[in-house]
A = this chain, B = another copy of it.
Amino acid sequence: MEYLLTYDVDTTTTEGQRRLRRVAKICEGYGIRVQKSVFEVTCTTAQMPSLRQQLADVIDHTLDNIRLYRLATGTLQTVDRLGVAQLAPHHGDHIV
């Protein structure tokens, strides 16, 4: 399954900066970072609840903002790009 995960974490406090690092670290276990706050995720349907729960445990639900877009298979290999954007080297499910 392909997903696009985007986040805005409020970093106006030290605690927020810590949350941002933790969110990024979690995402790194499930996908490839393609922009500062954008990860391309490939995982199975069964693995998605684990990713979601880890994020829910870390964020401040009154300040932070995470969106998870389900993509059609193949979208990550055909994404339209401008500037320095590159295709990410996905090879099946990315759980590490």
Task: Kindly list chain B residues whose C-beta atoms are within 8 Å of the C-beta of A25.
Answer: none
Q: Which residue of B lies closest to A59 (CB)?
A: B83
Count residues of A near B (Cβ-Cβ below 8 Å). Answer: 35
| Chain B residues positioned under 8 Å from A63 (CB to CB) | 83-84
Taking a contact as CB atoms closer than 8 A, the residue among B36, B67, B70 that contacts A34 in the complex is: B67
15 A-B pairs within 8 Å (CB atoms) are namely A4-B69, A6-B6, A6-B34, A37-B38, A63-B84, A64-B83, A65-B83, A66-B83, A67-B82, A68-B79, A68-B81, A68-B82, A69-B69, A70-B75, A71-B72
- Whether, in the assembled complex, A35 has its beta carbon less than 8 Å from a beta carbon of chain B, the answer is yes
User: For chain A residues 1-17, which have a beta carbon within 8 Å of chain B?
Assistant: 4, 6-8
Partner of A8, one of B7, B35, B65: B35
A55 to nearest B CB, angstroms? Answer: 6
Which B residues are CB-close (under 8 A) to A7? 35
